[in-house]
Structure 1
Amino acid sequence: MYDVLRVKQGDVFCVVGIMAENKDGKPNVIILGGVGFIGRNLVHYLVENDLINKIRVVDKVMPAMAWLSNKHKESFKRVEFKHANLINPRSVTNAFSTPDGTTFDFVINCASETKMGQSEAVYHDGVYKLSCNCAEEAGRHKVRRYIEMSTTQFGSSDKKPQTEVDKAEPWSLHAKYKLAVEDQLPHIPDLNFIIVRPVIVYGPSDRTGLTPRLVAGGIYRYLGEKMKLLWTKDLKMNTVHVHDVARALWHLCYHGNSGDIYNLADQGDTTQGKIADIISDMFDISHEYIGTLASKMANLSIDEVIQDINDKHMTPWGEACQKDGISNTPITPYIREDVLMHRHQFVNGTRILKTGFTYDHPTLTKDLLKEVLDDFIAMNLYPPSLIKGT
């Protein structure tokens, strides 16, 4: 039951009133960073399946400014939104507070600085400080469970999938401070927590997982050229669909023991070759790999390589957007350095299966990637003229 006041921000309504007392036993939930890619899909999953009594989203990005799809806008009509910078401890305290003393059962932290190439100070504050602030506040409130989103950007090879008990060797500053958060959580009083480490996440609203490769596929179709890729087809790029991430986060609110760590990776053992094959089929293009030796040489001047690639991508992307009447989009043709790195993400995601969880999308498919494009095209964010047959 609800006792609400909704205030319109653009075409998204934000609940600012107080929901009535929970009479059906459903939990109250806070989703920190709930406007982001994983957060918004989690909100949609909880609302669509009527799993919660009260749902509060806390984020520094306003929903009206976040490029929400129509289905996500509908779900956010059920959300109580709080605008906050979670690096500030006072903002975190306010994020957990309620005028009537309502308590929250579960807190799921999807908030984090994720942009590549930032300074170490940015990651310290935007990853470590932010997460510790939130976890400490959750401990003070003695919530039933706190879920911390981490990463799999740890040293792995193509020989053996990384498990939760293997030594974690971060290969990015983001991962360095995520690991520091993991190390700190056991020392926070009264905190019942679980850590979740997803691999490359894709699905509707993804901008940084597999979407950069979808953009490249369209560009090379436009250019009528073969797509050339660094390294080889065997580069491990394990994946997990965002729907399964949302389901897993909710599942772990009720299952597992405090302190557990769970990798999230589907059972398809995705490689660069599998992704390239799907994209080539989608866009009716061909591709080839320049191989390990040439890739190592390119890596010596990676900044120049990235600049050349981005210069090549910008013109056709701009022309296609202009042709299809797209004047503003968060999708970018610019390739980040991490997309070109020789970093295997070979991860064993089966531990969570022992808790009774199953993956609805056990392997990456063409239809699932097409769903990502269709969603962006429906929002007028991706030029449809880049798709095969249009």
Structure 2
Amino acid sequence: MSDKLKAPEVLPSVLILGGTTTIARTLAQYLLSPDSPKASFVRLADRFSVNPPTTYLDKSFLSLLNYSSSKLEYKQVNLLNTAKHIELFTPPTEFNGINIRTNGEDVFEGFGIVFDLTGEVSFDKPELLQISNTYQTSLSLATSASKLPSNLKPKSYVRLTFPFYEQKSLPSSSAGHSESAELKPDGVRGRWWNEVLRGIGQLDLNFGVIRCAAWYGPGTYLGEIVPRLVVGHVYQYLNQEMKFLYNADLRVNTVHSLDVAQALYLLSLYLLSKPRSEVISESSVPIPFSFASSSSSGFLGTSKRSSISETWKTIPTVVPENITVKVPLFNVVDENDSTQGSLAKIVAETWSIKFGFLNSAMASLVQQFAKNDFTEMVEDVNEMHVEAWSKMLASSDPPIESSPITPFLDDHAFRKMSICLDGSKAKRILGFKAIHPKVQVQELREIIKGFQEDRLWPKLS
């Protein structure tokens, strides 16, 4: 915990919007830790049902949610439905015997802190879905929050964003790309996630953003790390060496989900600690316009898929390019400066398999083939992985009929994508210090064990 920022004397009530499949469950448990509680009450609102569950919920989260004296409320709601927003941003008067909405003087108050974790994280979602589920959902929620009466208006509004930008893999001697680096959003996903920041940055909110590196943690199977573990298990099952297309020194910075939760909380305290003008002066950076020019990613260069459509011109809330939007932004990474090589090594160690990298000549041939028929190459690799995984699920003890965890990778996962971020600003201003400074084999095995106990990951004899 930071020694730079002091927690409020009276624990705030907290609203978490979305993120049930990413960081929200970890964040809720972090805020309501019995050893060091940071909230008096937490409401998590998302589109999924929890009873019966319509998405995966880990046992530790369910235990917290179903505890008789729990301070966690789950609210199933369509977050894009603006008619529900006033109700959503209004805490209950009482919850499990806890007085929620008064400040000790019988004055009704709203949620002191709001964490916005909404958005579609998959690269291959259609643009209209990204506009609806990422851009419009997040912006409409923030707009509603900004218009609340003063007693209900959040005092701190924090958005989580991901490293969905084109990032050159800088040499290890470099700290990485700072928050002020002019990075191009990567693809349709990156553009609409980026445009959310410009949209909210125009509103009357005490707003700030955490941009995390490749994240991993218990109960989470999305992101960059766990899919590598799945593929590693497939190669163990096939008794084959795991080969990587790109060089070992490609930087893929990482961060544990618990540290993402910590950073979100520290940013909320920072926003509460100073006047808005001082926060803007000290930590804000310009957020680039998302649709300035077409972008390309990986070795394929500019393609039909990476070109910018004109759909954004039909969205009236998009902030015009000539308007500069500055937002407090903080990169969050661990201490390990992970690379393709270090991650390959730790995945191989987890499964006791061999790994390697294609030599430059072979890699050039593969890349040339990919330029000619990239889709066919991806389909062939996925067919092998998925077929083996299906057999593994059926051979598990006991057999697993279905699982949301899959070795299937969209074509974006085969591109030469670096995550290379400078996290020094979060350390300096927020006092961030990683609880999990590096990815460790034992931690990955615990993550796998949790999924195996929930019968989502095959346990083979």
Same fold at TM > 0.5: yes
Paired with 1:299 and 1:38, the residues of 2 have a C-alpha distance of: 34
Q: Deviations over 1:177-235 (max 9, x none)?
A: 1211111222112x001111111101112212211111111111111111122111122
1:163 Cα deviation (Å)?
0.8
Question: Which among 209, 230, 233 is matched to residue 215 of structure 1?
Answer: 230
Matches within 5 A, 1:7-22: none
Question: Which among 155, 159, 165 is matched to residue 148 of structure 1?
Answer: 159
Matches within 5 A, 1:171-320: 171-189=186-204, 191-209=205-223, 210-256=225-271, 257=279, 259-290=327-358, 291=360, 292-300=363-371, 301-320=373-392
1:65 and 2:54 matched: yes
Q: Deviations over 1:34-72 (max 9, x none)?
A: 422200110111122322112111101122232212111
Matches within 5 A, 1:74-223: 74-77=63-66, 78=70, 79-98=72-91, 100=93, 102-141=109-148, 142-159=153-170, 160=174, 161-189=176-204, 191-209=205-223, 210-223=225-238
Alpha-carbon contact 1:43-1:76 (below 8 Å) kept: no
- For 1:383, the equivalent position in structure 2 comes to 458
Alpha-carbon contact 2:235-2:353 (below 8 Å) kept: yes
Alpha-carbon contact 2:91-2:111 (below 8 Å) kept: no
Alpha-carbon contact 2:135-2:193 (below 8 Å) kept: yes
Kindly indicate whether structure 1 or structure 2 has the higher relative contact order, using CA contacts under 8 Å at least 6 residues apart: 2
1:99 Cα deviation (Å)?
6.0
- For 2:310, the equivalent position in structure 1 comes to none
1:155 Cα deviation (Å)?
2.3
1:37 and 2:22 matched: yes
Q: Deviations over 1:294-341 (max 9, x none)?
A: 342243222111111111112221122112221222101212222211
Q: Deviations over 1:253-299 (max 9, x none)?
A: 10153531001111211111111111111212112222442342243
1:102 Cα deviation (Å)?
4.6
Alpha-carbon contact 2:403-2:456 (below 8 Å) kept: yes
1:368 Cα deviation (Å)?
2.0
Alpha-carbon contact 2:119-2:193 (below 8 Å) kept: no
- For 1:6, the equivalent position in structure 2 comes to none
Flag structure 2 segments of 5+ consecutive residues without an equivalent: 1-8, 94-107, 272-278, 281-326
Alpha-carbon contact 2:90-2:111 (below 8 Å) kept: no
SS at 1:56 equivalent: strand
TM-score by length of 1: 0.88
* Overall identity of the aligned pairs, in %: 26
Flag structure 1 segments of 5+ consecutive residues without an equivalent: 1-23
Paired with 2:189 and 2:87, the residues of 1 have a C-alpha distance of: 26
User: Partner letter of residue 280 of structure 1?
Assistant: A
- For 1:333, the equivalent position in structure 2 comes to 407
SS at 2:390 equivalent: helix
Q: Which of these two proteins has the greater Rg computed from alpha carbons?
A: 2
Q: Which sits farther off after the overlay, 74-83 or 259-268?
A: 74-83
Paired with 1:88 and 1:144, the residues of 2 have a C-alpha distance of: 23
**Coordinate RMSD, CA, aligned:** 1.8
SS at 2:32 equivalent: helix
Given the superposition, is the C-alpha separation of residues 138 and 206 from structure 1 closer, same or farther in structure 2, using an over 3 Å criterion?
same
User: Partner letter of residue 299 of structure 1?
Assistant: A
Alpha-carbon contact 1:231-1:295 (below 8 Å) kept: no
SS at 1:37 equivalent: coil
Given the superposition, is the C-alpha separation of residues 90 and 375 from structure 1 closer, same or farther in structure 2, using an over 3 Å criterion?
same
User: Partner letter of residue 116 of structure 1?
Assistant: F
Alpha-carbon contact 2:22-2:222 (below 8 Å) kept: no
